[in-house]
Homo-oligomer: A and B are copies of this chain.
Amino acid sequence: MCFCHLTPLAVGTAGTHKETHERSPFFLVPPDRQVMSRASDRAYAAIRAHLLSGQVVAGEQLTEDQLAQITGVSRTPVREAVRRLENELLLVRSDTKRLFVADWSRDDIEELFTLRQMLECHAAERAARRLSREQIAALDSINRDLKAAVDGALPDVGRFLDANRAFHEVIIEAAGSPRLGQLLARLVEAPVVLRTARTYSQDDLRQSARDHDELVAAFAARDPEWARAVMGSHLRRAFHTFARAVGPAGTTDQAPPSDAKDA
């Protein structure tokens, strides 16, 4: 399975109660490259972290002011960050432009994984033709790390997720289709947030590692059909893992129509 792509960047300054333009504590940034210099980027990361932290209930209403306070920047960059998160389907707007934490029904999740499977199988097929020898070696190395993370008595889920994300990113990168990458970015981020309290079974994690092994084999053999097939089963299993967590039938539904009062 594949609960990939956890938060790509940790948040820098969260929770400073905005005291009129306080200069953000960025002494000693890595001198070569000013990381996260834009307030909208910081806001994006902070809001995302906030959503992932589990302090937020799916379907809950958020206001831009709230988020501005949480992130410590003004509403202008918050609005920009919110737009990005809307695109990634982590936030949704009601018909009257009020903002809610996205809530995913089982059907929504299935739809998402179906689309993701379609696109990422395509990516795997293309990657099988185009991966350089070095990239294949890199995949193998990443997957060794992934296996190390899950082989111990108690698996290191965070490290697993990082390695998993890196693995899939190499494939998408190698597919050489920038628009495909953009589309997938949008689909991949959403399910991560879902049920953050969920604990991954070690069996799931190890099966994922085996899938990745087989993908590497398919790539090494330069067999696009094989790669596509493995990726397909890999992602389909991911769907069932998620679906198991959320329940059998249509459980929760989209946020905006429902009122946030009873959340």
Residues of A within 8 A of B (CB): 76, 79-80, 83, 87, 89, 108, 111-112, 114-115, 118-119, 122, 177-180, 183, 186-187
Write out the residue numbers on chain B whose beta carbons fall within 8 Å of the beta carbon of A119: 115, 118
Q: Is the CB of A179 within 8 A of B187?
A: yes
In the bound complex, CA of A79 to CA of B177 (Å)? 27
Establish whether residues A115 and B83, one from each chain, have CB atoms under 8 Å apart when the complex forms.
no
Q: Say whether, besides A83-B80, A87-B87, A115 and B177 are in contact (CB < 8 Å).
A: yes
Least CB distance from A260 to B in Å reads 21
Residue in B76, B111, B180 whose beta carbon sits within 8 Å of that of A115 in the complex? B180
Closest CB in chain B relative to A97 CB, distance in Å: 9
Question: Contacts of A83 on B, CB cut-off 8 Å?
Answer: 80, 83
Chain B hits for A186, CB < 8 A = 183
Pick the most buried of A79, A80, A108, A115: most chain B CB atoms within 10 A of its CB.
A115
Contact A183 B183 (CB under 8 A): yes
Instruction: Compute how far the CA of A83 lies from the CA of B76 in the bound complex, rounded to whole angstroms.
Output: 14
Q: How far is the CA of A114 from the CA of B119 in the complex (A)?
A: 11
A179 touches B118 (CB 8 A): no
Bound Cα distance A87, B89 (Å): 14
Provide the residues of chain B in CB contact with A180, threshold 8 Å: 111, 115
A26 to chain B, nearest CB (A): 19
Name the residue of chain B whose CB is nearest to the CB of A126.
B114
With A89-B179, A108-B179 given, can you name 16 additional A-B contacts, CB distance below 8 Å?
A76-B76, A83-B83, A87-B87, A111-B178, A111-B179, A112-B179, A114-B177, A115-B177, A115-B180, A115-B183, A118-B119, A118-B122, A179-B187, A183-B183, A183-B186, A183-B187
